[in-house]
Each structure stands twice: as C-alpha cells, then as structure tokens.
Amino acid sequence: MSIAEKTGRPIADLLREGDSAEDLYAGLRAQFEAELRDTRTPEHTRALRDRWLGRRSGLLTAANESWLKAAARELKPTVGKLQNQLKRDLEAALQNAMQGAVSEPRDEAGLDPTLPGPERTAGAVHPVRLALEEVLDIFRPLGYTVAEGPEIESFFYNFEALNFPSDHPAVDEMDTLFLAGKERALLRTHTSPCQIRIMEAESPPLRYVVHGKVYRNDTPDATHSPMFHQLEMFAVGADITFGDLRGTLEHFVRRFFGPSTRARFRPSYFPFTEPSAEVDITCPFCSGHGCRICKQTGYIEVLGCGMIDPNVLTNAGLDHERFQGFAAGFGLDRFAMLRYGIDDILQMYQGDTRFLRQFR
Ligand code: DAH
C-alpha cells in the first residue's frame, strides 16, 4: 500500500499495521515532496499547502492528532518530536518552492550549496575611454605628454588668445554656453585653449596631447551631444614644418583605423592655424569603396589641423620668429563611433549597461 493511500486513512490504523514512527515520517515526507515537485503553478503550491498543513483539516494536522493518540505511551515523546520535525521540513520545502528555489541539496547548516551565488559583474571600460587609451598609446611613444585643462574657461583662452576676432561668427557658431553672473566665463567649446595654457607655462620644444570634455549648446541627436570629448595634439619647436604634421597624422590614422587607411588633407580655415586643413580618411566601413556612412564618397572627415598661427604663439608669449608649431583636434566620441561601429552618440551617455557591457 502506498503512503498516499495510507495517508487517506486514520494514522492510528497505520501504526497498528506495524509501521515504525520513523517509517511513517519518512513516507509522509516523501509523499509530500513528490506532490510538491508536481506542482506547476503558485496556485497549485498554495492548494498543496492547505491540503497538508491547513490548520483545521490539513492532512498533517489531522494525522498528527490521531498519530499521537495512537502511539504507545513510551513512544509519545519520539512521535511528538518527529511530528514537529516533519512540520518544519514541509514548511521549509514549501517556502523554497514558493520562492522558486531548489529545495533539494542542503548541507549540515541547512544551506543549499547548489544555488547560484550573487552575480558579480565586472565593470566595462566606456567606449570613449577605450578610444582615448588607444589614441594615447599611439602618441606616447612619439614623445607626447598627456595633459588636461579646466572645463570652465575664460573668453580670453577659449577665443581671443586663439586669434578669434571678437566679432568672429565662430563665437556664435560654436554655440557657446556662458556661465550666468560670471564676467564672460564659459564652458569651453573646445580643448584648444589648453594649447595657450601650456605654451604660457612651458618653453619649447613641446609635444602635448590634451583631452577632456567640451560643451556646446547643441540640440542632442544621433551626431550631436551638448557635452562631448575632444583631443588636441600639438608640437612647438624650431624648424617644425607642415610635413611633420602630415607625417605624424598619417601615422596616427593608420595606427588607429588600420594600416590600409589613407588620409587626404583638404585646405580649410581655423582662426588659430595658418595654413589650416581638414583631414579625411578612407571610410573604415567600406575601405573607400563608397557606402551609406561615407555617403558614397569613400571618405570620412575626422579632424582639423594646421600650423599654429604666429599670432597664437605671440599671444602665448612665444617668439614666432624662433618657433613654429602644428596642432590637430578631433572628437573622441566620433572616433569611438567610427572605430567600434556605434551609430548614435547619445548611446554613450544613456548608461544602458547592455550597450556598455560590450566594451569590456
Ligand atoms: N578646436 C577645433 C574645434 O573644436 C578643432 C581643431 C581644429 C583643433 C584644428 C586644432 C586644429 O588644434 O589645428 O572645432
């Protein structure tokens, strides 16, 4: 006779049939666990709990009463203990089942060593930081020193010292964010003011990479963020030529975007460089064959550069007859997007761990 059938009958009968109290206990427990394993929904589990442990007519409650009554006098303490133990076990198993946990393996301390531990997720390196490190790894061996500068700048460093005439449209074009109440203090719109700060503080030869956050009053979209990251590299010394600039940047883009990358220098204009150029590279997505991203041109514009304007050297206190320099600047966010195939700059700033995890 199965325990299931037995449990349907008064426990007193069962005991008289010769079951030891331990047998009965083990049988009831096995039966309960089998039924528990078969429950598929929380409602089933609750129904099982009521059937076995319900206070009035629960199977165990009823069984316990008659069981104790029927037990021989000298067995009563043992039976009582077993009953309590059984009740505790059933309740614990139920609780586990209701929490969706596995109730089986337990060590002596009552812990289940097979349950998964708390998940420990390693942080990921942000794509902008990743791009920055790659860029720095290229410039450091060339003798460049890495520096940063203040994000709150004066009008002088951000514009005037860089040879922007005060009525220059770029002051507006750059969508400058001025700070309320402060006399022409602003959030720097580019990292170029660091050129001035460093030239003022040190004497040539200078080779510097400066990086950091810059701010513009732009409406956010897939290619614009009101805060983004720039990197500026510059060198000042005697006998520095445009050829040096060109060789350095060609080396740089090949190292960063891949050995087959070609750079194209287009004449351009910046107030702080003369001559100025913009650099396009062969599109890293189609290797220059033409695709949606390069708008079928095969080229993508990546940076601005030029020979540091003599006025800028003078503004920073250097003798432009003795020294020349070159400079280049670009957006690190854009570099990261091109390098890692990210198509929306705002993804970088939404903190979505599903996105960020990919850059471990
Ligand atoms: N400061 C420029 C900008 O934010 C970028 C730039 C262009 C930096 C040419 C340079 C340079 O150093 O030579 O748009």
Domain ranges for the chain, please list them.
Answer: 3-103, 127-359
* Confidence (pLDDT) at 271: 95
* Confidence (pLDDT) at 11: 47
Cα of 330 from ligand 1 centre, angstroms: 7
Ligand 1 proximity of 328 Cβ (cutoff 6 Å): yes
* Confidence (pLDDT) at 101: 47
Ligand 1 proximity of 327 Cβ (cutoff 6 Å): yes
* Confidence (pLDDT) at 327: 98
* Confidence (pLDDT) at 255: 97
Per-run averaged pLDDT (10 residues), the chain, 360 residues: 48 54 78 84 82 82 76 79 84 79 65 80 90 98 97 95 83 80 86 98 97 94 94 97 98 96 96 97 92 92 98 97 98 95 92 87
* Confidence (pLDDT) at 12: 44
Ligand 1 proximity of 288 Cβ (cutoff 6 Å): no
* Confidence (pLDDT) at 165: 85
Distance CA 60, CA 50 (A): 10
CATH of domain 127-359: 3.30.930.10
Atom of ligand 1 nearest to the CA of 305: 13
Which protein residue has the closest C-alpha to ligand 1 atom 5?
A: 329
* Confidence (pLDDT) at 5: 52
Asked if residue 240 lies in contact with residue 328, where contact means CB atoms within 8 angstroms, the answer is no
Cα of 182 from ligand 1 centre, angstroms: 26
* Confidence (pLDDT) at 91: 85
* Confidence (pLDDT) at 77: 82
Cβ of 299: how many Cβ atoms within 10 Å? 18
Atom of ligand 1 nearest to the CA of 190: 4
Q: What is the largest CA-CA distance in the chain?
A: 116
* Confidence (pLDDT) at 25: 76
Cα of 235 from ligand 1 centre, angstroms: 14
Coil vs helix vs strand at 49: helix
Name residue 186's beta-bridge partners. 153, 178
* Confidence (pLDDT) at 139: 98
* Confidence (pLDDT) at 2: 45
CA separation, residue 339 to residues 182, 253, 359 (Å): 39, 11, 12
CA separation, residue 45 to residues 48, 62, 292, 304, 328 (Å): 5, 20, 57, 68, 69
Ligand 1 proximity of 232 Cβ (cutoff 6 Å): yes
